[in-house]
Chains A and B, each alone.
Chain A
Amino acid sequence: MSSSDKQLFDKVVFKRPESLVDVKTHFCPGCHHGIAHRIVADAIDHFGMREKTVGVACVGCSVFLYDYIDVDVVEAPHGRAPAVATGVKRALPDHFVFTYQGDGDLAAIGTSEIIHAANRGENLTVIFVNNTTYGMTGGQMAPTTMLGQKTSTSPYGREFSNDGYPIKMAELLAQLEGVAFSARVATSTPAQIRKAKEAVKTAFDMQIRRMGLSVVEFLSTCPTNWGMKPLDARNRVLGEMIDYFPLGIFKERKQADFV
């Protein structure tokens, strides 16, 4: 290696976050769960909190969070991660506690738990991965499934007269007093990923400053169950999904209600 090469390699500009375990994931090609995992690991590193973090995994394709993120993890029943995280946080108030949940998990079976954890202003961070379907169980309709979207349980496409409308959780949660931060991000372009990183860091910071519950909704892909190639899945997020689920920050508390 020439000395100029060495100089080149001495300056690390991009590396695997320390909190991200160096193993192959089980995610399908083109699935964005892996990107969200990396962003979470990156934020844990950023705040130097790996040893003070307890993650709460949900039931869904991301249940193996504990194999990929190098922190202590509790596995919650389907939808109950915010309640489990409440128990962890009330027991260990000085620890950093986050949940990582899918849209079936958070926006269907677990709606009650997320609303009430949010309303109590639990100092938790919620990573919410919306891929408009139940990935793990084979692509059934979720509350976030788009109108007209065909899934294994909406074979003719979701129809509002039968199934209602796709639910916008980031906006809904932003209405609650206990929520300190609510944002929706995507991970389909480098610029979006940069913004997603910023949002997750802000969300973590809210918890550290005890401002209340912080939630970041990720618009994600499920090429396998959408029946799409990875690139088409990415494009679906950029077009159809962002059209209906706008990106942005819906709430950002500047000052804690209490100290």
Chain B
Amino acid sequence: MSGVILGTAHREFVKGNEAICHGALAAGCRHYFGYPITPQNDIPEYMSAHMAGHGGVFLQAESEVATINMLLGAAAAGKRVMTSSSGPGISLMQEGISYMAGSELPALIVNIARSGPGLGGIAPSQGDYFQAVKGGGHGGCRIPVLAPHSVQEMYELTLLAFELADRYRTPVMILGDAIIGQMKEPYSPGLHEPPAPIDKPWATTGCVGRPRQHVKSLYLKDDDIERHNWRLHEKLQRVENAEVRAESYHLEDAKIVLVAFGTAARVCKTAIQWARKAGIAAGMIRPITLFPFPKALVHETAGRADLMLVVEMNTGQMVEDVMIATSHHDKIRFVGKPCAMPTPDDIFSEIKRLAGKTA
């Protein structure tokens, strides 16, 4: 990618994984650390070919444990940094992610999810939802999670991830999957302005003309750790108040409201179009931020809809957040397809079945 002109609809035809790399470079990320794992290898491969040309650093670490700690070090030094991985690798990173959340270090962590548990498989999956949005690491850490459903969003949400990371001093995760990562489609890099670099006076860059400072997550004195926890909590509340993003798809008059994210949402869109043609008032809430979750929108919609159909590529995880968001539990239905993409047919027949029951 070169010579992007802002405000133009110039289009690129690339894989989702590559769009993330374009976004990272556009956002001024010049430090990538990673370890190979399918289905995200396009990202380190692209970065290894292009980082040097941008005056940046690409380093293949000896493990994901080392990776996340290299990220920690480079973030502490004030740089925009990123890594990418998948299930087993993301699990290995969790200690470091918790340290980074505790030390308030901005970074982008991309999870192009595969099936699990264990070695699982390389088929697409949304089985990492809980791990991503409920903290993953120890000690009550939580980080914002963004869920792209197109190559365009792989690019845009990468820009947003760096912006949020810096604004709130937190790691941010992009949760994709094998389909969204491997899928090729056109996107327009010129529609979005990359986030401007920001001052990081807290960074450990050598104490020239100022007292020494530290990046740390250890608080042993008195009630320091309690205060630190409340402060992090308050920060997450600010994120919840200001950063919820969701797409409302044919929601205005919808009686059957689907809730889906990422690849699953993409398939749902087709099923909803078919349903509309068949005269069924279907619509969808597509959370773009999985954490913070669009609770208010879900609650308010559930009040007026007949049914809420949660569609996930797992055996039911986000559905729990839908249940937390609304008290209308009797309206909630779930259809899941672990470790594979559901077809529009799968979802359309479920919509028809439910419409028959409510009619």
Contact = CB atoms under 8 A, between A and B. Distances in A.
B74 A88 contact: yes
A234 B204 CA distance: 36
B59 interface: yes
Nearest to B57: A90
Contacts of B67: 83
A95 B63 contact: no
B241 to A, nearest CB: 30
B77 A92 contact: yes
B73 A74 contact: yes
Interface in A65-103: 66, 70-77, 80, 83-92, 95
B216 to A, nearest CB: 4
B77 A91 contact: yes
A154 interface: no
Interface stretch (B147-155, B205-213, B270-278): B205-213
B191 interface: no
What's the interface size class on B, roughly?
35 or more
A54 B33 CA distance: 20
B239 to A, nearest CB: 24
Nearest to B209: A51
A52 B77 CA distance: 12
A116 B31 CA distance: 19
Given A52-B206, A66-B214, A80-B96, A74 B72 contact: yes
B101 interface: no
Contacts of B103: 75
Nearest to B98: A77
A166 to B, nearest CB: 24
A208 to B, nearest CB: 14
A116 B66 CA distance: 9
Given A52-B206, A91-B31, A74 B62 contact: no
B79 interface: yes
A77 B96 contact: yes
Looking at B66, B204, B215, which has the most chain A CB atoms within 10 Å of its CB? B204
A71 B212 contact: yes
Contacts of B237: none
Contacts of A171: none
What's the interface size class on A, roughly?
20 to 34
A75 B214 contact: yes
B74 A87 contact: yes
B76 A88 contact: yes
A53 interface: yes
A4 B214 CA distance: 45
B212 A87 contact: no
Contact of B217 (A70, A75, A84): A75
Given A88-B76, A90-B74, A91-B79, A76 B69 contact: yes
B62 A116 contact: yes
A84 B218 CA distance: 16
B66 A113 contact: yes
A56 interface: yes
B217 A87 contact: no
Contacts of B72: 74, 76-77, 80, 83-84, 87
A54 B206 contact: yes
A110 to B, nearest CB: 9
A77 B99 contact: yes
Contacts of B70: 83-84, 86-87, 90
A63 interface: yes
Contacts of B75: 87
A112 interface: yes
Nearest to A73: B214
Nearest to A84: B73
A90 B73 CA distance: 9
Nearest to B99: A77
B214 A91 contact: no
Given A87-B72, A91-B79, A74 B207 contact: no
A66 B212 contact: yes
B214 A80 contact: no
A75 B215 contact: yes
B127 interface: no
A76 B215 CA distance: 9
Interface in B30-69: 31, 33, 57, 59, 61-63, 65-67, 69
A87 B83 CA distance: 12
B346 interface: no
B218 A63 contact: yes
A156 to B, nearest CB: 32
Contact of A80 (B69, B212, B213, B217): B69
B254 interface: no
B206 A112 contact: no
26 contacts: A51-B207, A54-B206, A57-B216, A66-B212, A66-B214, A71-B207, A72-B207, A72-B214, A74-B73, A77-B69, A77-B96, A83-B69, A83-B73, A87-B33, A87-B76, A88-B74, A89-B73, A90-B73, A91-B57, A91-B73, A91-B81, A95-B205, A112-B62, A113-B62, A113-B69, A116-B62
Given A72-B205, A75-B103, A83-B72, 15 more contacts: A52-B208, A71-B207, A74-B76, A75-B215, A77-B69, A80-B65, A80-B96, A86-B70, A86-B73, A88-B76, A89-B73, A90-B31, A91-B81, A113-B69, A116-B66
Interface of A: 50-54, 56-57, 63, 66, 70-77, 80, 83-92, 95, 112-113, 116
- Top 5 nearest A-B pairs (CB, nearest first) are A87-B73, A83-B69, A91-B77, A75-B216, A87-B74
